[in-house]
Structure 1
Amino acid sequence: LLFIPFIISVGLNLYIGGQFYFDLYPIHNKAWIPHFYTIEYYFSILFNLGLLVVEFRLLFKNSIKYQPDIGYDLKWIRLFYTFHVLLIFFWILTSVVDYYYNSDYSIIIWLLLNILFYWIGYQGIYKFTLAKNRFEIREINKKKTNEKQKEPVKFKEGEDNPYFKKFIQLLENEKVYRNQQLSRGDIATRLNISIGYLSQIINSVTQKNFSDYLNAYRVKEAKTMILDPEFDNYDMVAIGLEAGFNSKSAFYKYFKKETGHTPTTFKKIHKE
């Protein structure tokens, strides 16, 4: 349905262009053409305003309840939304100025569109590089896991709850914390207990909630990779994502909470 206005616009523009630019066929009645372009122009503005309302509800209203404990990284798409708002604002502003002062300020819209396209291009290249880094880091970690002999998990005093022990074995042996979307429900299902009981066990043994305890493991793994020379050439964000964090902001937040430093500062201090 969202593509229908675009298809109609392209079809009619090709039909008009076929006569005006290539003289492929005659258009006997041309009186409707200026009206079509006027309708197309103002419908485009109204259509975009409608999209902004829908986008706002999806990004800032309804999406919150769908986020897991850490939350999806919506920062980049919210930035895209902000750019969309600015684009429509200047589009309306230039239309009003053009109407009253009979001048053409559409260059502003083209400038903003160019900035937007370059930004999308940058994001695409950055995300591709990040994905490539993550793939290579994952392969190195697989190799290290295969080479390293599994040692029996050692438990501290007070960690004698059988379900907590199974939970620790999932973290230590299966590295389940590397799963960015891992939830309390997933672990509770694996242990065959309720989510509430799982939270109660973790809190009573560690004095931490599920997210904090899981992220402590992720920070520990990130620290190991940061200090390993084999990972020196990889992006810091890629390391955090492969440790199990699902966004740069979550990675930096919990890393600083656990170590008192950002990942870059931590690496610099320990390398020195």
Structure 2
Amino acid sequence: MVLANFFLLPVAEKIRVYENQGADYTSILKIIHFAVIAFGVTYIALSLLLLKEHRRKISDQLSYVEKINLNWLNILIIGMGEIWMSVLVGNDTTTFACLALFILYTGYFGVKKVGIFTNKLEVQAQQYEEATSPVEYQKSAKGELLLSEVHLELLKLMDQKKLFKDPELSLDTLATQLNVHPNSLSQVINTLQQKIFYDYINELRINEFKTNALLPENQRFTLLSLAYEVGFNSKTSFNRNFKKITGLSPTAYLKQQHVQLQAAI
């Protein structure tokens, strides 16, 4: 719109402006240039923040986020930023080369990760939004009592049935077992356990692993087989969560426990 006068000029006059590096329009072009830079930086920054928030939402719904790898989307956003910078400081060759690679990358992962745009994920995100919003019954003593009751039932269920051993356990599945709404269960875990669903379930798995790994009858099994037994579905997930919770690798932790046991004897 600000360049409307330019587009209304005769062809010869447009050529003159172009050949003279934007003569008579330099001020407007500078404003547009800096506006484009500001818009591009803001768009990329907000996209990365939105992706980070989406990862957090997934962690509050599922106990197996390793199957939902969004690193490709992170790279996609960074790729958009590179195209933006190429338009501003590069030339036509670099810009079209970046654009071609971007389209190929988008096409490949668009097919491979088609499930990310299904209604199921949208429903999960909506449930999360509802679960993290204030609920009226929390404001009363009766509401707090209900949350405490759900919490006790949760602890009892995990101790007796050990549902965390299900490698694909989700918030909805656990809520069904407890006969409560997923929103209520999410609040119980976030408030009373002070953890998101993903961290809560994986901490239970790690604690179960530590108990099982020290039993004499389990010494003949590998650490990975014991990890699968308690609900982990990959070596990477197991090692990362173990290090996050204990500060040690599984091998180092067990060596430490054996040393302490021998010292006590």
TM-score strictly above 0.5 = no
TM-score, length-scaled by structure 1: 0.42
TM-score, length-scaled by structure 2: 0.43
- Does 1 or 2 have the higher relative contact order (CA < 8 Å, sep 6+)? 2
